[in-house]
Structure 1
Amino acid sequence: MEINNKIIGDLKGLISIVNDGKEGYESAAETTENLELKAVFLKYAAERKAYELELKAHLASHGGESDNSDGGILGSLHRAWIEVKEALSSKEDAAVLGAVETGEKAAIEKYDAVLKDPSTHADHIDLLTRQRDGIQGALTEITALKGSRS
């Protein structure tokens, strides 16, 4: 039972950071006037929504539930996405991209922490690894876009 509680807690934490990312990307898309960036941000917002649904399915299979569709308060992880929202007020693409980059790094840290215990998450390790790799891919693209605007 204790292991199942850890699984539920870890999945809820991932759902929260994924939702924070989704909200950050949606806000970034609304803020930028650059059509290329808007498309990138909307693509990753949709990807985070898909991640949320996948994680919720695994959470349910372990007897947990999450009504979290608005992100969560996860200390530094949440603050990273708060920085996105603050950068959006500047409406400068480089600042927005930098803040998104910070949020994605925080998400990767959260995934890495969960993936350090593969035996606990054996039934969904492939899912978590795929999602983490997807976030890493987004981070790579966002970093490149930021570099081209600095």
Structure 2
Amino acid sequence: METNQEIISDLKGLVNIVNDGKEGYASASEATDSGELKAVFLKYSAQRADYADELKAHIAQHGGDSDNEEGGILGVLHRTWIDIKHALSSKEDAAILSAIETGEKAAIEKYDKVLDDYASHLDHLALLQRQRTGILEALKEIETYRLRLVR
């Protein structure tokens, strides 16, 4: 079983990835001209902010704190990649959606890694599973939008 510090570390890693998503979706909402996509991106940016708050509450329950509001280095790189892809692509929205898919798949992998050690995370297992499901549902919606654009 993991120590309390390792549990806190796992949860902080998830805070980073959901904040990456929050920032990525916010950047995407600014990059698109589509009102429909802008609304979807803002919805998921707000969802990720809520996820971060929930995770921070569990970090606090374990005696830790997380003041991260902006994500990790991977989030910065992911947002930069969205900006580059946006600037170079003739199908801007399709490129943005593809970049978001990459970020969502990375988030799911991060959740899966933490959930693999479910015994250490029993007190917040349902929360982690619910958040992972929300990210997967977002990924499916984003994929649907991208597929519509590339047809």
Structure 1 CA distance, aligned partners of 2:86 and 2:43? 18
What pairs with 1:65-104 in structure 2 (closer than 5 Å)? 65-74=65-74, 79-90=77-88, 92-104=92-104
In the superposition, the TM-score normalised over structure 2's length comes to 0.92
In the superposition, the TM-score normalised over structure 1's length comes to 0.92
CA contact (8 A) 1:81 1:102 kept: no
Which is helix-richer, 1 or 2?
A: 2
In structure 2, the CA distance between the partners of 1:101 and 1:148, relative to structure 1 (3 Å rule), is: same
CA contact (8 A) 2:2 2:120 kept: no
Helix, strand or coil: the match of 1:64? coil
Structure 1 residue runs without a partner (length 5+): none
What pairs with 1:1-150 in structure 2 (closer than 5 Å)? 3-74=3-74, 79-90=77-88, 92-150=92-150
Structure 2 residue runs without a partner (length 5+): none
Greater than 2 Å deviation, 4+ residue runs: 77-91
Identity %: 58
- Tell me how many residue pairs correspond in the alignment: 148
CA RMSD of aligned residues (A): 1.7
CA contact (8 A) 1:27 1:88 kept: no
